[in-house]
Amino acid sequence: MGTILLYLGITFVILLLIGVPIAYSLGIVGVGYFVLFGTDFGVLLTAPQTMVESTRSFSLAAIPFFVFIGELMAISGISDRVVAFARAMIGHFRGGLAMVALASSLLVAAFSGSSVANAVGTGSVTIPAMKKAGYPKDFAAAVESTSSSMGTVVPPSVAMIVYASITGVSVKALFVGGYTPAIIYALGIMLVIRVVAKRGNFGRDEKHSNKERIETFRSSIGALLIPVIVMGGILLGYMTATEAGAIGGVYTLGLAVFVHRSLTWEKFKKVLVETARTTGIVMFVVATASVVGWILARERVPTTLAEKTLSAFSSQTAILIVLILMLVVLGTFMETLSALAITAPLIVGIGMGAGIDPVLLGLVTVLSLSIGMVTPPVGVVLFVTTKIARSSIEAVSMRLLPFLGVLVGGTLLMALFPEVFLWLPNFVESLSGS
């Protein structure tokens, strides 16, 4: 096993260093294993069979629908209406516009399930608005980066769907479990915004009248109903995540075409292309990572790793803390979905051996890896917001430090107080069972 692990690790790292895309790197590593270590040529058939089988999960079929919703909201201006409503309600507080960015991202996250789509959809509106109101551009980018990362935390989350498809954990339970950490993150981020804005003496927007607030609410009410339809259908048991995504997509399309009349044929074609592109990337990563996962399982790596971890740490809390810190570091150097597809089988092996609740384990994994989306060197959300703000990665990264403290600290709370984070999914599950 040692020789094979050495081959997998060294080959994968070399491919990444020379610029080979992550999905191709995983595929090359997997096929190379069968060529070098396979007992006969027929074993090569395992690779394509595993790739096809891994993408046949019904849960994964929800991904294109949620991506479609996010792309459609961004390009048709529906996201702008949500931002306008949030600004009218809380923009006049100290640091209000930054809180608007947070509130808008939380709302858009409840529609799209993608942090990158979140950053593009809301960041293109909130960052210029904050700069115009006197916010430092690097702070504006840091706020939007952190806020947009909620796209992985707030259901429906593409990362949670991928994790569920790999491990067999309930998508519904993961979705419901995401609400509690989202609230904790949001409260911590608001506190940081308030303190920084007060010290810097910036961030007070004009107060909107009640009439303006009512008007922005009316303008955004259609969009605000999207998460009600999607999550309401899932929680009430009327729809699976895939069915809810499909219905949400049709509803959002109808909203853009018939209510707001903001979607042209050219824009619609762009939405379809971007949806297909994003879905293809996700599916390709899942498919090639499944081959590596099959290899790791065949070589008993998850079992061996679980045994060594359990022998080194005696408590569930210690194991969770170690996992969180390791995953945060890994997420800094690897794209979230790719890291998720590779590590999920290993983490499940450790969790089962330690008796850790599978839903808690899934939340810890997804949330820990998602922090890397706002940190260099591969923080895609950080790159998007920095470009919109026309700032530098270095300046924005410095502004991100207190926000990262909130994200890491909030995730560590899951290890220390698991019952707090499991209460809601357990409660919803008990209602479904009764």
User: Tell me: the pLDDT tens digits for 285-343?
Assistant: 778 877 877 787 777 776 676 667 767 777 889 889 988 988 888 887 777 777 787 78
Integer Cα distance of 196 and 343 in angstroms: 36
Reply yes or no on whether the pLDDT at 132 is more than 60.
yes
Residue 121's pLDDT band, with cuts at 50, 70 and 90, is low
Q: What is the pLDDT of residue 328?
A: 87
Cβ count near 63 (within 10 Å): 26
pLDDT given for residue 2 in this prediction: 67
The CA distance from 367 to 408, in Å, is 9
Least confident span in 7-21, 104-118, 400-414: 104-118
Token pair recorded at residue 365? 């994994």
State how many domains the chain has: 1
pLDDT digits (tens, 9 = 90+) for 179-221: 999 999 999 999 998 888 888 777 566 677 788 888 888 888 8
Q: What is the pTM of this model?
A: 0.78
Dihedral angle sign, alpha carbons of residues 78, 79, 80, 82 = positive
* Amino acid occupying residue 305: L
The length of the chain in residues reads 434
Q: Within a 10 A sphere around the Cβ of 206, how many other Cβ atoms? A: 9
pLDDT of residue 42: 60
Q: What is the pLDDT, as a whole number, of residue 376?
A: 75
Distance (Å, rounded) from C-alpha 154 to C-alpha 182? 6
CA 324 distance to own-chain centroid? 16
Radius of gyration of the chain measured on its C-alpha atoms:
22
Structural domain including 121 reads 2-433
The contacts of residue 365 (CB under 8 Å, 6+ apart) are 163, 323, 327, 340, 343, 344, 347
Q: SS3 for 413? A: helix
Taking the C-alpha atoms of residue 12 and residue 330, their distance in angstroms, rounded to an integer, is 14
pLDDT at 244: 83
Q: Could you report the per-residue pLDDT of 226-236, keeping only the tens digit for each?
A: 878 887 887 77
Q: How many CB atoms lie within 10 A of CB 29?
A: 22
